[in-house]
Amino acid sequence: MLEEGRVGNIRTTDDNEPTAWNEAQRSHQRSQLTRGLRVLDVLREHPCTVPELAKVLEVNRSTSHRLLHELELAGYVAREPKGRAFVLAKDKLLAFRTTPEQEPDDRGGGEWGEAIYRVLGQLRDIVGESTVFAVPAHDRMLYVAFFPADDTPGEEESVGSRRPMHASAIGKAHLSALAPTMLDLVSGRLSFDGGTELAAKGPGQLRDMLGDVRRLGYAIDRDETLPGWSCVATPVFVNEGTLVGAAGISGLTSRLSDKRIRAFGELLVNNTRHLLAS
């Protein structure tokens, strides 16, 4: 409660009274909350430096720095070990923390997390190939949920695996859903290392591939990440269109014919692209 008195030329009374001071304070708090949530949305898509965040939010650098500093103190964001970029804190980044063997109540991600976990398990059983959900982590996609097929090579595919964003289907699916300004920032920071000779070699080639992804609704990786291994993936949105990562179906290239790739792509678009918490 504010003590009765004066601040400048504005009289302050009981905090519950609708004075100009109280209304200004509440408006400021709402604005700060909105900006803070916007920062978390941006960092969920990709790490950002202070100048990059300022550009995305259309604020000055001092405001960008203050927002990141406050969220860092609160434990929501952290600085990258090397570099000047900020990322979501580890427990905020990982929508899922478990492998398929763990109990449902131990999994993260809330209601939508449970929904995609359930769908991925069902798709694996239907198609007989591995299914995965991944989130962006620097210039890689991090597997945070994975349902292996019986013959999946454990040393190559598992929870915790990282895939180059520019080469993998899950990476290209995620990139295809970014807003133009964010895509410019992200693609400009990609090193384009990793993957095979079939992977994109630079931003121009990657953008051409992303055009195909948007047209189809899903991305395809044929031997681009690993020789003999292919994947099809689609971006995943929850509730009111919030991008949270990408879901994919992967398997031996010898088994994933063009016909199966198309069928798997349609399955993913119809069952994982848009999820509602239930």
Task: Look at residue 140 and give its three-state secondary structure.
Answer: strand
Query: Among 116, 159, 121, which Cα is nearest to 278's?
Result: 116
The reply to whether the predicted model has a pTM over 0.75 is: no
Q: Say how far apart CA 100 and CA 125 lie, in whole Å.
A: 13
Query: Which of 248, 139, 256, 155 is closest to 203 using CA atoms?
Result: 139
| Cβ neighbours for 260, distance < 8 A, ≥ 6 positions apart | none
Contacts of 49 (CB under 8 A, 6+ apart): 83, 84, 85, 86
Structure tokens at 247: 């879901």
* First-to-final CA distance of the chain: 39
- Other Cβ atoms less than 10 A from the Cβ of 51: the count is 13
Burial call 96-134: b when 16+ CB within 10 Å, e when fewer = bbbeeeeeeeebbbeebbbbbbebbeebbeebebbbbbb
C-alpha dist (Å) from residue 28 to 31, 35, 50, 67, 221: 5, 11, 22, 13, 47
pLDDT at residue 31, rounded to an integer: 54
CB atoms within 10 A of CB 195: 21
List per-residue pLDDT tens for the chain, 278 residues long. 334 443 333 333 444 444 554 454 444 444 555 677 778 778 877 788 999 988 888 889 988 888 888 888 766 788 877 778 888 775 554 443 333 333 333 334 456 667 788 888 899 999 999 999 988 877 888 888 888 887 665 556 777 788 999 999 999 999 999 988 888 888 888 889 889 999 999 888 999 999 999 999 999 999 999 999 999 999 998 876 788 889 999 999 999 999 999 999 999 998 887 765 44
User: Which tokens go with 169?
Assistant: 């289907």
Please give the pLDDT value at position 156: 65
Write the DSSP assignment of 205-241 as a string of letters: HHHHHHHHHHHHSSEEEEEEEETTEEEEEEEEEETTT
The domains located in the chain, with CATH, are 5-91 (1.10.10.10), 94-275 (3.30.450.40)
Dihedral of alpha carbons 109, 236, 74, 81, sign = positive
